[in-house]
Amino acid sequence: MVQAWRKVDFGTGTVTFLDDTQKEDMLQVEYPNGFLLDMGWYQDRYIISIIHNFDWTHPVKRYETADGNQLPALLTEAVRFVEKKSRTAEREKSEVNMMQVRKLEGYRDKIKAAYEASAFTKGTRPEPEDAVKRFESRYTPIPAEYRWLLLNFGGCYLAEPWIFTLKELEEAYPIFQEAYEDYMSEYDHGPTFPIGGLGDGSIVFIDLESGRVRGYNRDYADLEEIAENFSSLLLGLVEQALELGNLCKEL
């Protein structure tokens, strides 16, 4: 009976925990876009829960049975459900990303004016698309809004936090991955992507599930909330640069 449920195809999921015995925790499978399938033996029954973004209090869906023979069928149904939810979330995320990119396109002239007004971005240039693609083939896709900035303007040093140039990203990405494994994995967040830093040594990254921009410094206890998303971060930096430029003109 136990062997039967172990033969279930978990699709795009990654099994992160598996225990053959009837204990509270028996199985956990991680899926893209913040979904988790959890199975355990609780109060004389098997319970399969679909969790999203670590919200254990409010499972997306729950399956229960006291009959172990039903587990393969229930697990198969749960896998179909969570894979469908994950695909839907991926489509919605892509749509949001494209909306944010279109939003940035609408501010192109303003961003250009800020880059031209700031002494810190005088030598900044757009990154070649083939170089961006080389990075992505070596590591992972760059988030859409950040990719747009790199291709159209390059990195950003208008104010803190600064946003990496492609060269800086190539240097920082492996270091960030090590920091994630050693320190950041204890925090509740989705997949992450580094985009820049702060003067205190903090790593600034995008939580790819929520889109939020956060800062991490291993000397601090908590993650720092920096911006609702990459677009709001960039446009905030642009406003600071333009205001500073206007003040300098008035002096």
Distance CA 64, CA 139 (A): 40
Domain shared by 60 and 119, yes or no: no
**CA torsion through residues 12, 30, 139, 147, sign:** positive
Domain shared by 77 and 132, yes or no: no
Contact 102, 67 (CB under 8 A): no
Residue 187 lies in a domain: yes
Residue 65 lies in a domain: yes
Q: How far apart, in Å, are the Cα atoms of 211 and each of 36, 100, 122, 208?
A: 19, 11, 29, 5
**In this predicted structure, what is the pLDDT of residue 128?**
96
Residue 101 lies in a domain: no
Give the pLDDT of the chain (251 residues) as one tens digit per residue. 446 788 889 998 999 888 877 678 899 999 988 899 999 998 889 999 999 888 899 999 999 999 989 999 999 999 999 999 999 888 887 787 788 899 999 999 999 999 988 888 888 899 999 999 999 999 988 999 999 999 999 999 988 899 999 999 999 998 888 776 666 556 656 678 999 998 888 889 998 888 899 988 766 656 788 999 999 999 999 999 888 766 555 44
Distance CA 187, CA 185 (A): 5
Instruction: Tell me which residue range forms the domain holding 212.
Output: 107-250
Domain shared by 77 and 118, yes or no: no
Domain shared by 122 and 166, yes or no: yes
Residue 96 lies in a domain: no
Domain shared by 56 and 131, yes or no: no
Question: How many domains does the chain contain in total?
Answer: 2
Domain shared by 27 and 65, yes or no: yes
Domain shared by 79 and 120, yes or no: no
Considering just the CA atoms, what is the radius of gyration of the chain in Å? 22
Residue 92 lies in a domain: no
Distance CA 175, CA 53 (A): 25
Domain shared by 116 and 232, yes or no: yes
Encode pLDDT of 150-177 as tens digits: 999 999 998 889 999 999 999 999 888 8
- List, in sequence order, every residue forming a beta bridge with 51; answer none if it has no partner: 36
Residue 168, classified by CB atoms within 10 Å of its CB into exposed (0-12), middle (13-18) or buried (19+), is middle
Residue 97 lies in a domain: no
